[in-house]
Structure formats: C-alpha cells, structure tokens
Amino acid sequence: MDQMAALELRSVDLQSPRNNKEHHTQEMGLKRLIVRRGQSFVLQLHFNRSFHFGKDYLTFVAETGPAPMELLGTRATFSLTQARKGNVWSASDFTTDTNSLLVSFFTPASAVIGPYTLKIEISQGQGHSVAHPVGTFILLFNPWNAEDEVYLPSEILLQEYIMMDYGFVYKGHERFITAWPWNYGQFEEDIIDICFEILDKSLYFLENPSKDYSQRNDPVYVCRVVSAMINSNDDSGVLQGNWGEDYSRGVSPLEWNGSVAILRQWSARGKQPVKFGQCWVFAAVMCTVMRCLGVPTRVVSNFRSAHNMDGNLTIDTYFDQNAEMLPIQKRDKIWNFHVWNECWMIRKDLPPGYNGWQVLDPTPQQTSNGLFCCGPASVKAVREGEVHLPYDTPFVYAEVNADEVIWLFRNGQAQEILVHNTSSIGKEISTKMVGSDQRQNITGSYKYPEGSPEERSVFMKASRKMLSPRRASSPFLDLLGSRGSQDQPAQLQLHLAKTPEWGHDLMLKLHARRVPDRVHPRGPIRLVVRFSAQALLHQGDTREPLWRQTVHLDLDFGEEIQWPLLLPYENYRNKLTDEKLIRVSGIAKVEDTGRSMLVLKDISLEPPHLSIEVSKRAEVGKALRVHITLTNTLTVALSNCMMVLEGSGLIDGQIYNNIGTLVAGHTIQIQLDLYPIKTGPRQLQVLISSNEIKEIKGYKDIFVAASRAS
C-alpha cells in the first residue's frame, strides 16, 4: 500500500459568528473568536487530504502571556481525542467531511482569561511533527457556567449585569437622588482589547508578568488589579481624580456621558491618565471593564458615606456659634454620596457563606496592601460585622455604619455635643433595578434596620474588632453615651416652602415647637437662632457662608411657630460648586440655660429639564429623527452651551453640537437624524453643559429593530 501524503493544514474557519453567538459575545462583533471558559466551541480545519484518526496525530497548543508555561496555567498541550475527558483543555467530538475536520474545543472553567494563540502540531506515527498556526481567540470569564467562580444562576440577572451596556448612576443627596444615565459600552469593538491593555499596565504585571498572567484565572485577583488600575495614584491608570474645582486642564467629571470615550482616550494617548474623574466616573468605568471581562457587575451609590480614615467608627463635624460649619482638618469626612461597584463571585478564600456580591471601589481613598484599591469585600461580611475578613471590610463597614458626632466649637475647642447620630450614615444605598429604569434600595443587604437589636449587636461586634480595648472604653465614648439622650426644650425643623430651582430665590420655613424638658417642664422659653448657608462640596466640605440671618423666638409651652426665611438668588449666584448643593444650618441658643440646638437642611437645586422624543420606529441603518427640547427656566442666560450625544448601538462614538447662548425664558429645539447600528434595547444619552450649569442631562430608551428588506 502506498504511503499517504503528509497531512498539511491549508486553512482554518474559526466559526466566529456561530461560536460568539453561543458564548454570548456576538455583541462584541463576529469577525474574531471571543469565547467563554468552561464551554465548548467548534473550529473547522481544512487539509490537503482527508484526515484519518489513528494514523494522523494532531496535538494542539494554546498559549497566553509573555512566557507561557504549563506549570503556570498559561500554556496547554492536548491531543485530538474521540471524547472529552473532564474539566481540562481538550479537542474532541470531531466529524470529518472530505478534506475537512470539524473539532469541538473545550477550555476548563478555571482557565486563565486573556488573548490566546492556538497552534497545531501534525505527525504521522512516530515521525517528526510539523507545526501550523491555527489562529487567535480571546477567553473570558463565564457566568453562565456552573463551574465558573463567577456563575450567576439567573438569565434575567445575566442580561442586566453582563449584557446591559447602559444604565444609571445615582447621585445627589439622600433626599434629592438623581438618576444619571451612563453609557457603559462594554461591547464596542475595541473595548475588550483596552481591558487587557489595562491588565498589562498594572504594577503586578510590570513586576512579574508570568506570575500576573498565571493569576488571571481568579476573579478576586483580576478585580483587585482592575480596582487599582482605574485610578492612577500608583500607576498608569485610566483616570486621574480631581476633587477641586479647576478642571481647565481636562474634562469636568460632570461632563462625561459614558466609559467608552474615557477608555479610548487612555488607550490612544499612550496610556496617560484621563483627566478627570470622581467616584461615579471611576465606578462606571470599572463596571464597563468587569462586564466586558465576564464578571457580573453593578454600580452602587451610598448616600451620606463615611470616609473614616482612623477606623474609630465616628466622624466628627464642627460648627461655630454662628452656625457656620467649620473646615475639617482631619481626613475623616462624610461624603454626600459615594459610588462603588459590586461584582458577583464565589469567595474560595473565605469561610463558607460569603459568596455573591462583593464590594470593589476603584476611587483612590486609601491603600490596600500598598496600592490604592479596595475590595473585594463581601457584602454579607459587611452586614454581619465580620470586619476581619479580606479585603478592606473595615473601611466598607465604616462607610455605611459609622456614627456622626456634631460638636459646637467655641474658644478654640470642641465644647458641646450638639448631635450624636447613630443612623445618619449609609442611607438609601441604591442601584439600578433589574430590567427597569427604576432605582432599587439595597440598604438592607448592607445592614440590619437602623436601631434594631441586630444592627446594634453587629455594630458592637465590629467595634470590638476595629477598636483596641483601650479605645473601646474611652471617656469620649462614655461622653457620647451620656450626652446623646439629653432632652431639649424645643423641636426645630427646616422645611422648603417650594421646589428649589437654580436661578430663583429659595423659600424656607423654620418650624419650632415647644416641648417639655427637665429644666423647663412647662414655662416659656426664649431662643436666639443664628442661620448660615454654605455651598456644600461633594466630599462633605463647605465654603464660606453666603447668607446669614438671626431670628429671636419666644415660645410658650405647647406653642408652634412657622418662621419664613428667604435666601435670595443673588446671594448664591456665583458661590456654588457644579453640584449646586447648599447646606442651611441653624444654631438655637436657649437664653437662660445657654444650651444649644442644631437644625440642618441640605438643598439640591434643580437644573432645567431636557425633553427627548423620537419620531417613529427605530431600525438599523435607517434615519431616526430625534427632537431635543430645552427651556431655560433660569433668570439668567445659559452661555457657551455645548450638547453631547452618546449611546452604544445608536451612535459610533459621540456627536457634538455647539448651541451657543440660551436666553432666560427661551426654548431651544434641536432636530437631528441618527442611524442606529445594532438591534435591541438601546439608550440615547444627552448632555448639555454651559458656563452656568455643567450638567443638564437627559436620556431616551429606544428599541432598535432589524432592518426590513426594502
């Protein structure tokens, strides 16, 4: 019998459209192979002759990283077999057709993620082998697979936390929560490559590339690396933070609409940090990266978030007797809101019971093992006060549970505790509701109900672990315990008389009611109430007072008084930050006892509202007319107005439109045509910024149908 010609590989069909669809990666494109670990995919190999199993021997080599090694899990060698053997790299279940071979490839659910090259070595019997390149593919985490550590057993949740490429970031203040539309855009064609560029720029990779790659099978490790790389405090990270008010050397954090422009700019400009970000930008960009890599991720906002650097579980704030909130010298602060991520994974490094959502915070606040990153901290561990469990659980616990102590500062020292709040921190913890544009309150997953026996018990357990025995029984804590319960002769509240709008006078009412106390069981009292209004900054600091007023009140027993207060627009016109928040404080002094009482009201000023309408059914490739309407409800003109439109699947990149000046009381109507690119649910984000107001935002949900044959 004549000897068969040597088997030669002529061409390969990676079957990308079919494989990507089966692996839920078709949104990233169909031109190249992108698959998820723990799930088989098929390739078609074309040879110079028909393949004979048992005579022709095929060995495949898959490699990733700079120096692939089997020992490190970055190189796998496996031969063609008739059936797959367990959770290992394999090529099996093949079918032959003339000169082609259809092979099923399988990657273990614990494989290293990343870009791979695949080679084939062909031999006949004991003869020498010839190697041919087969092609390249990208391997991702697989939350659809029960063997993967990021497995999420709900298709509805997977559609939200992996496949949804837009969403909302919640900002503002606990009583004025604003939903900010955000374009995550994790399936834009180049984003997957940028995600791996981020991993390859980390300090872990630069120190030891082979070791770094070998750990990329572990979602805990990858999340920590990404958390450190989104900020640029230690490395060539994606974003540079800026909590000042001068953004002239970059883009204001308020003017970003989504992650795609940020990631593309970082990649295109030599991996130089993009200017500028704050917490919601850091978290939204991390959400894009983690969803792209295949880890279920959501963005979470914590209102009145404690930034507790000394770990004593109390945040001190100081007011003087004129009701002015004093500059905070310590690094401990209460942020109006703080935004982080939750990633879903199994925690094999923790005792049983702490799987599921894990907090990851890419905003640079404090170092963790020497780098500015935070997490993963198990949400369950935070709720149960298990602050000894890694990573950074004490810091996250304090963010949602610390106590607030407000002091009256006189003669150069703190003299009197005005308020000791055990429940004012960690409010309205929010994320986007699954399958809806509504907000979901998830505070209950972080802590037991405020004031409940379980909540206080957990607080005491965490305190014992976080505070040394000496500090746990300090005179300061004893003082807190004794002063918090002292009663007051009046109840004071500040209310808004009408909706606060930027550009208008603010109308408030002081509601005062006389109640019995030990010193004045029934008699009248006289109060001197000094008011102060200050611009409130995002990180909890304030500026110089922009308005003051003093009110004298005589209150008889059982009497209630409503006293009107007017804060004119001219007082705050040029005094606020871009966040448009004002803190109105009042300190009431009881004349005959000298005791003081505090009343506070934080006010968020409403910007004008955008209206967005689309004319008809949206279809891929067909013109879609969009109508955008903005009325300037202010008493001043909006100057230098710039409009930016964004929306993955609707627009490639961004559309800019210079609108110019919008006179007070006037309405502008803009019409433009979009040509949708992808089918399915999409979101159009619109931002109009001006010199006066940086953030007038709107969005429109649009369902795009496939194009009908004409």
Reported confidence tier of residue 142, pLDDT bands at 50, 70, 90: very high
**Number of Cβ within a 10 Å radius of residue 633:** 16
Do 563 and 509 form a contact (C-beta atoms < 8 A)?
A: yes
Cα(364)–Cα(358) distance, integer angstroms: 18
Residue-wise pLDDT tens digits, 582-635: 999 999 999 888 889 999 999 999 889 899 999 889 999 999 999 999 999 988
Residue-wise pLDDT tens digits, 566-577: 999 999 998 988
* Integer-rounded Cα radius of gyration of the chain: 30
pLDDT at 32 over 80: yes
Reported confidence tier of residue 153, pLDDT bands at 50, 70, 90: very high
Kindly report the backbone phi and psi dihedral angles of residue 63, in degrees, each rounded to the nearest multiple of 5, phi listed first. Answer: -135, 145
Burial class (CB in 10 A: 0-12, 13-18, 19+), 243: middle
Question: Which range (301-315, 543-557, 684-698) has the least confidence?
Answer: 301-315
Do 641 and 632 form a contact (C-beta atoms < 8 A)?
A: no
Q: What is the largest CA-CA distance in the chain?
A: 120
Joined tokens for residue 703: 């369902």
Do 48 and 99 form a contact (C-beta atoms < 8 A)?
A: yes
Say which residue the tokens 């599921």 belong to. 356
DSSP, collapsed to helix, strand or coil, labels residue 555 as strand
pLDDT at 483 over 70: no
pTM over 0.85: yes
361 is catalytic: yes
pLDDT at 683 over 90: yes
Cα(340)–Cα(96) distance, integer angstroms: 51
Reported confidence tier of residue 331, pLDDT bands at 50, 70, 90: confident
Task: Classify strands 696-705 and 680-689 as parallel, antiparallel or unpaired.
Answer: antiparallel
Residue-wise pLDDT tens digits, 515-557: 877 776 677 899 999 999 999 988 888 999 999 999 999 998 8
132 is catalytic: no
Residue 329: the pLDDT is 67
Enumerate the β-bridge partners of residue 552: 528
Cα(600)–Cα(542) distance, integer angstroms: 14
**Number of Cβ within a 10 Å radius of residue 635:** 14
Residue 484: the pLDDT is 43
Q: Kindly tell me the sign of the dihedral angle through the C-alpha atoms of 47, 50, 55, 60.
A: positive
121 is in an annotated binding site: no
Cα(114)–Cα(76) distance, integer angstroms: 14
Say which residue the tokens 């109006």 belong to. 336
Do 263 and 194 form a contact (C-beta atoms < 8 A)?
A: yes
Cα(164)–Cα(27) distance, integer angstroms: 11
For all residues of the chain together, what is the average pLDDT?
92
Residue 309: the pLDDT is 75
Enumerate the β-bridge partners of residue 239: 231, 274
338 is catalytic: yes
401 is in an annotated binding site: yes
Residue-wise DSSP of 420-486 = EESSSSSEEEEEEPTTSSSEEE-HHHHSPPTTSHHHHHHHHHHHHHHS-HHHHT-HHHHHHHHHTT-
Reported confidence tier of residue 486, pLDDT bands at 50, 70, 90: low
Residue 372 identity: F
302 is in an annotated binding site: no
652-669 CB burial, b ≥16 within 10 A, e <16 = eebbeeebeebeeeeebe
Reported confidence tier of residue 473, pLDDT bands at 50, 70, 90: very low
| End-to-end CA, the chain | 60
312 is in an annotated binding site: no
pLDDT at 479 over 70: no
pLDDT at 472 over 70: no
Q: What percent of the chain has pLDDT over 70?
A: 96
Catalytic-role residue among 195, 279, 292, 374: 279
Of 302 and 3, which is predicted with more confidence? 302
Residue 670: the pLDDT is 96
Helix (H) or strand (E) holding 195: helix 191-200
Say which residue the tokens 């710039």 belong to. 642
Of 514 and 106, which is predicted with more confidence? 106
Q: Is the peptide bond preceding residue 476 cis, with omega within 30 degrees of 0? A: no
Residue-wise pLDDT tens digits, 73-91: 999 999 999 999 889 999 9
Catalytic-role residue among 338, 420, 520, 538: 338
Task: Classify strands 90-97 and 100-106 as parallel, antiparallel or unpaired.
Answer: antiparallel
Burial class (CB in 10 A: 0-12, 13-18, 19+), 507: middle
pLDDT at 445 over 70: yes
Cα(429)–Cα(396) distance, integer angstroms: 13
Enumerate the β-bridge partners of residue 46: 11, 100
Residue 694: the pLDDT is 87
**Nearest alpha carbon to residue 4 among 67, 72, 55:** 55
pLDDT at 478 over 60: no
Helix (H) or strand (E) holding 413: strand 413-421
Cα(37)–Cα(23) distance, integer angstroms: 9
**Nearest alpha carbon to residue 493 among 516, 513, 520, 522:** 513
Residue-wise pLDDT tens digits, 43-60: 999 999 999 999 999 999
Catalytic-role residue among 56, 165, 212, 361: 361
How many residues are there in the chain? 710
